Amino acid sequence: MTATPAAPTTQPAGTPVPDPADTPVLDAPVLDTAYFRRWIAETNRLVRRDGARLTELDAVIGDGDHGANLVRGFGAVAAAVAEQRPATPGALLTLAGTTLTNTVGGASGPLFGTTLRRAGKVLGETGTPTLDELGAALGAGLRSVRKLGGAEVGDATLVDALAPAVTALSDAAGADLPLREALDGAVLAARAGADSTEGLEARKGRASYLGERSVGHQDAGANSVVLLMEALRSAVDAAEAEPAPPESAAGQAAAAAAEPAATAEAAPKTRTGRVGIVLVSHSKAVAESVAALSGALLGSLDPAPLAVAGGTADGGIGTSAELIRAAARSVDEGQGVAVLCDMGSAVLTVKSLLAEEPSPLPQDARIVDAPFLEGAVAINLTSAIGGDLDAVLAAAEDARGYRKR
Ligand code: ADP
Ligand code: MG
């Protein structure tokens, strides 16, 4: 890695030299907002550089979309950061996390999204966190991603790289190591953790479907964590990529247009005051056909407000936070909304949206724990006959207990 002799600045070339007090000195780099902007730019660069390799890793034991997911996600983060110019490291990480959850149609979106959002929240209003504070914030992010995905070290997921990297950062802070040395250590620890996944059987995510056959292959998400750590390291000496763009009306219009997803489909609302139902599937066709079957079984009953969020916003297989938000809003009649998901990233995305503060889902939105088809039939019927949110959730519980032999 080559150190840039000139200190990084946020000024475009040709503008007057800033006050030296505001300028990070090579030997004493600071973790200010400009540093975190450079970190996003570096992450964006590295996931583009290694996107094909990440996708290849995911293709062997997953579904081959991990590189594309991260390229899309961090591209959106870089655009959001350039547009909104968050004022503190905490605000920047929070924006990055929310953007990842909202733009990546795979499990890694809510997983990385939750990690960064939680880290941002822990940093709060701090202008220049210390290494110790950064370690603690990422530690909190690690705890929340463990909680969200249920993975521990040894399950062959991104946690296997993130956990040792966080430990390395905190240990380095405790030992008062210089920043560059500390970050070098975090990169090495993440790399060793990612390498270790090769000998492990995947116990979470899609790779777990392969059981023992996942042994012998590295986890894609763990390799992405290595890139995030490499970017933390290279951001110390990287130059700021671009000057701040002016607040553009076009950008604001695009953001506004992205907000309500026009493709989410809601059944006509025939009367108000019932529990809304949202069916979330990786596949638009599955969501729609399950909705159709559960609707057909209602007979002559007045249909409940029901909307589907199927697939990604561009019609692919995956999960779209945007479609989920729009679907939930479209069925909200003030009596609560029951959200039923198929699996994996659908569940993670909904849980992550529910955990956001404030949540972009309607007040009294609940995730339903039930098999997709049986649950959809049960909750649709219960809402259609006028059951309240508790009754709808109880019907879902019943559907879960229904045995087939
Ligand atoms: P998807 O699995 O939905 O296709 P990606 O391919 O983008 O999403 O991300 C896959 C990565 O996400 C895996 O390599 C793994 O590191 C991580 N992952 C998946 N499920 C979990 C989980 N439950 N807990 C922690 N990490 C997970
Ligand atoms: Mg995948």
Residues 56-115 pLDDT 10s: 899 889 888 899 899 889 999 999 999 999 999 999 999 999 999 888 878 899 899 999
Distances (CA, A) of 189 to 53, 146, 226: 20, 18, 9
Whether the CB-CB separation of 238 and 46 falls below 8 Å is answered with no
* Phi, psi dihedral angles at 249 (to 5 degrees): -65, -35
* pLDDT of amino acid 380: 86
Q: Which residue has the least CA distance to atom 9 on ligand 1?
A: 108
CB of 220 shorter than 6 A to ligand 1: yes
Give the global pTM.
0.69
Token representation of residue 95? 């924006």
The string of DSSP letters for 115-161 reads: HHHHHHHHHTT-SS--HHHHHHHHHHHHHHHHHHH---TTSSSTHHH
Together in a domain, 234 and 296 = no
CA distance 132 to 107: 29
Whether the CB-CB separation of 377 and 136 falls below 8 Å is answered with no
Looking at the predicted structure, is the pLDDT value of residue 208 above 50?
yes
CA distance 286 to 184: 46
CA distance 370 to 158: 27
- The conformation of residue 28, written as its DSSP 8-state character, comes to B
In angstroms and rounded to an integer, the radius of gyration of the C-alpha atoms of the chain is 23
Together in a domain, 241 and 295 = no
If you search the block for the tokens 């909904």, which residue do you land on?
350
* Ligand 1 mutation pick, 57, 61, 66, max ligand atoms within 8 A of CB: 66
CB of 342 shorter than 6 A to ligand 1: no
* pLDDT of amino acid 6: 43
Q: Which residue has the least CA distance to atom 14 on ligand 1?
A: 221
Boundary-marking domain end, from 246, 279, 312:
246
CB of 160 shorter than 6 A to ligand 1: no
The pLDDT tens digits for 126-168 are 999 999 999 999 999 999 999 999 999 999 999 999 999 999 9
Q: Which residue has the least CA distance to atom 23 on ligand 1?
A: 149
Looking at the predicted structure, is the pLDDT value of residue 24 above 70?
no
Q: Is residue 26 part of a domain?
A: no
Domain ranges, residue 93: 33-246
Q: Which residue has the least CA distance to atom 11 on ligand 1?
A: 221
CA distance 255 to 306: 26
Whether the CB-CB separation of 80 and 95 falls below 8 Å is answered with yes
Which of 271, 312, 306 minimizes the C-alpha distance to 290?
A: 306
Together in a domain, 366 and 393 = yes
The pLDDT tens digits for 315-364 are 999 999 999 999 999 999 999 999 999 999 999 999 999 999 999 999 99
The pLDDT tens digits for 374-405 are 899 888 888 887 788 988 898 888 777 666 77
Together in a domain, 340 and 226 = no
DSSP-derived 3-state class of residue 366: strand
Q: Indicate which CATH number applies to the domain containing 320.
A: 3.40.50.510
Residues 6+ apart with CB under 8 A from 369: 396, 397, 400
Token representation of residue 40? 């996003």
Compute the distance from residue 337 Cα to the ligand 1 centre, in Å: 27
The pLDDT tens digits for 38-55 are 999 999 999 988 988 898
If you search the block for the tokens 């890793």, which residue do you land on?
57
Q: Indicate which CATH number applies to the domain containing 40.
A: 1.25.40.340
Under the banding of pLDDT at 50, 70 and 90, the label for residue 254 is very low
Compute the distance from residue 62 Cα to the ligand 1 centre, in Å: 9
Compute the distance from residue 222 Cα to the ligand 1 centre, in Å: 9
Q: Is residue 15 part of a domain?
A: no
Dihedral angle over CA of 173, 174, 177, 180, nearest 10: -20
Looking at the predicted structure, is the pLDDT value of residue 252 above 80?
no
* pLDDT of amino acid 103: 85
Boundary-marking domain end, from 186, 216, 246:
246
CA distance 325 to 333: 14
Q: Is residue 103 part of a domain?
A: yes
381: Cα separation from own chain's centroid: 33
**How many CB atoms are closer than 10 A to CB 38?**
23
Distances (CA, A) of 93 to 18, 125, 147, 242, 246: 25, 12, 19, 19, 21
Compute the distance from residue 317 Cα to the ligand 2 centre, in Å: 11
Token representation of residue 268? 């006509």
